[in-house]
Amino acid sequence: MEATLSLTDKSGVADVRRRAIHMAHALGLSEKRQADAALVVTEAATNILKYAGQGQVTLRNYQEGAAQGLEVIALDRGPGITNLTSARTDGFSTGGSLGAGLGTIERHSTLFDIYSVTGCGTALLARIANSCDAAAHPFEVGARSTPKLGQDICGDAFGIRHTGNGLWIALLDGLGHGPLAAEASNRAVGIFQQAGINDTPADVLRAVHQGIKTTRGAVMAVAMFNADKALMSFAGVGNIVGIVASGNDTQHLISTDGTVGYNMRTVRPSEVPLTRGSVFVATTDGLSTRWNLNRHPGLVDRHPSLIANVLHRDFARDTDDATIVVVKAS
């Protein structure tokens, strides 16, 4: 369940509020949390129009371990916020308005995070759930996926599986665009979701290769995160870009040439040690290869949903399906 709404005038604020209430109700959130969702998106959308002139709000359901609810991502390319500390205080405003702003959004959210760079825009994350009591999962996840401009169906796909203290991620790019590409990538995700508990990423790729041979095929990467061993296992086929950033070190993940479902060669798996705060990023070729976490000061410290959406905002190409998945070891 996901919807992205563009904001260009005040009528868009009401549209976002109505959609947020509808989604919150569909997700089983209480009346109070539905009201919180309405307030959060109203403030976020109003701030976009007031300070940036235009932007967008994405609403989606999220699930992270036992926690689930509504996720709100508000993005703009405006002037940014000079003093985030002051801006997060209730009553603060630089626009001469009532000034409910960020402080109210944070107070009415189960989880809140924000990233802003002067002159480069602002990205805001708010999650609303019925309860804050769910135990934190050792891995946080964020993702963003969009179809080629002018198309409704995305040929990219991703899958997420939580397994106790572990996590599995799959990222796919079906060859071409549209329904046939989506058929390949979505069928692959279905096979990925059925993988055995003792399978490796290479095992999953081989199973998918056999299972999508009647489709046009896809490029694919699979990553398995093990909190007990502080280790990530990775295997990829084709031009999925993947990195792991830990502190000042960045390791580029190598995939095997070929196409899953067509001409997959012998898979070369790799393993990467993880530390607290390690960040895994994987993208399809719909994102320009110019993206670099180091060019966004402080972004690596933010929630993976913000990392994914900021990089997608700044580097996704309209001429292709574009998908990014981010995982952080917490």
C-alpha distances out from residue 305 to 54, 64, 77, 222, Å: 21, 12, 17, 19
CB atoms within 10 A of CB 93: 17
What DSSP assignment string belongs to 271-282?
EEE--TT-EEEE
Determine how β-strand 55-64 pairs with β-strand 67-76.
Answer: antiparallel
Q: Are 277 and 286 in contact (CB under 8 A)?
A: no
Contacts of 198 (CB under 8 A, 6+ apart): none
pLDDT of residue 96: 41
Q: Report the distance separating Cα 56 and Cα 203, nearest Å.
A: 39
What confidence score (pLDDT) does residue 83 get? 66
pLDDT of residue 94: 47
Asked whether residue 9 carries a pLDDT value surpassing 90, the answer given is yes
pLDDT at residue 226 greater than cutoff 60? yes
- What is the third-level CATH fold of 2-129? Heat Shock Protein 90 (3.30.565)
- Whether the pLDDT of residue 175 is over 90: the answer is yes
Q: Give the pLDDT score at 95.
A: 47
Residue with the two structure tokens 């009415």: 108
Tell me the pLDDT tens digit for each residue of 114-139.
999 999 999 999 999 988 755 678 99
For residue 91, pLDDT over 90 is answered with: no
Report, as an integer, the average pLDDT of 202-221.
97
100: pLDDT strictly greater than 60: no
CA 330, chain centre distance (Å): 16
The position carrying tokens 């109505």 is 18
pLDDT at position 1, please? 82
Mean predicted confidence (pLDDT) in 189-209? 96
Query: What local confidence, expressed as pLDDT, does residue 97 receive?
Result: 41
Is residue 115 within 8 Å of 16, Cβ to Cβ? no
* Domain-wise residue ranges, the chain: 2-129, 139-329
Mean pLDDT of 273-287: 97
The CATH class given to the 139-329 domain equals alpha beta
Q: What are the structure tokens assigned to 115, written together?
A: 């990233």
Residue 231 and residue 223 in contact, taking contact as beta carbons nearer than 8 Å: no
Residue 288 CB neighbour total at 10 angstroms: 14
Q: How would you label 232-258 residue by residue, b for 16+ Cβ within 10 Å and e otherwise?
A: bbbbbbbebbbbbbbeeeebebebbeb
Above 80 in pLDDT, residue 238? yes
